[in-house]
Amino acid sequence: MKILLTGSNGLLGQKLVALLHQVPGVELVATARGPNRLAAYYPALRYRPLDVTDAAQVQQVLAQEQPSHLIHTAALTQVDDCELDQAACWAQNVTATEYLAAACAQLHIHFTHLSTDFIFNGEEALLTEDAQPDPISHYGASKLAAEQAVQRTAGLRWAIARTVLVYGTTAAGGRSNLVLWVRDSLRNSQKIRMVDDQWRTPTLAEDLAQGCWLLARQSAQGIYHLSGRELLTPYQMAQQVAATFELDASLLERVDSQVFVQPARRPPRTGFRIDKAERELGYQPRSFAEGLALVKYQLDH
């Protein structure tokens, strides 16, 4: 099978490259906007620059490559940036998905699309795939619109992978995430305020990559929740980060989310039930402690 990956420079994209480049029988084509950040790590990796907001470019690259599967990880995921520049958010998250879905339907390419817990309003935790979406931010609204675009594309074979609070290390730069930010702040002896009234099921990037591969490998169809199993607050996560990296947990201040004024609203509670992915795909995420241990190992070596 031949897999084309969008967003290969991002956290999930880099983990998918690391996983898929070594799977027998898989031909991988990595794409992202701009230069390939992974060139030094995977010299043999096939890479094509691709701006997914350019319909002609999407059509050209997919027609030339003719992959059997496409995994779409490219997105604008900074929630506040999406609130402040809604046009850019919509172009990247919705319009690009429409272009890719249409091209995949036309070329008979199986399409795996990444989505988020932020399509929900946060009134309930541990959501199943049939929970009713009700986004409370522009980011959430854009990701729900992208899901709907995928579902209404005639003739498309698709899977939607929703996930929650992804963390991990990147080989080649990239944005920080909660785990790395807490570790770096505590290392620098900075006091940090962590909310204890929001709940998530944090997801190790390696586990999410494995879940995406399972979806593509089985040409799965439908919506799947892929996250960790444990429902934790950011404060509880930060405490575990401090313990794993042997840092001073007294620097952590427990606060309510009301103390932060942010452009975009966050759902108070989300987190997923992952029974369907475990049952149908064989998805088996690590515990948060195991995920942190892996991150620590990667950072130490």
User: CATH code at 223?
Assistant: 3.40.50.720
Q: What percent of the chain has a predicted confidence (pLDDT) above 90?
A: 98
- Cβ-in-10-Å burial (0-12, 13-18, 19+) of 40 comes to exposed
Residue 172 domain-assigned (yes or no): no
Q: Can you tell me the mean pLDDT for 52-71?
A: 98
Domain count, the chain: 1
What's the predicted TM-score (pTM) here? 0.98
**Banded model confidence at residue 174, pLDDT cuts 50, 70, 90:** confident
Residue 95 domain-assigned (yes or no): yes
**Banded model confidence at residue 275, pLDDT cuts 50, 70, 90:** very high
**Banded model confidence at residue 92, pLDDT cuts 50, 70, 90:** very high
Residue 251 domain-assigned (yes or no): no
Helix (H) or strand (E) holding 293: helix 288-300
Q: Is 173's pLDDT higher than 80?
A: no
Q: Answer for the pair 8, 36: CB distance below 8 angstroms, yes or no.
A: yes
Compute the mean pLDDT over every residue in the chain, rounded to the nearest whole number: 97
Q: Is 23's pLDDT higher than 80?
A: yes
Domain that holds residue 54: 2-164+203-227
Q: Give dist(CA 247, CA 187) in Å, integer.
A: 7
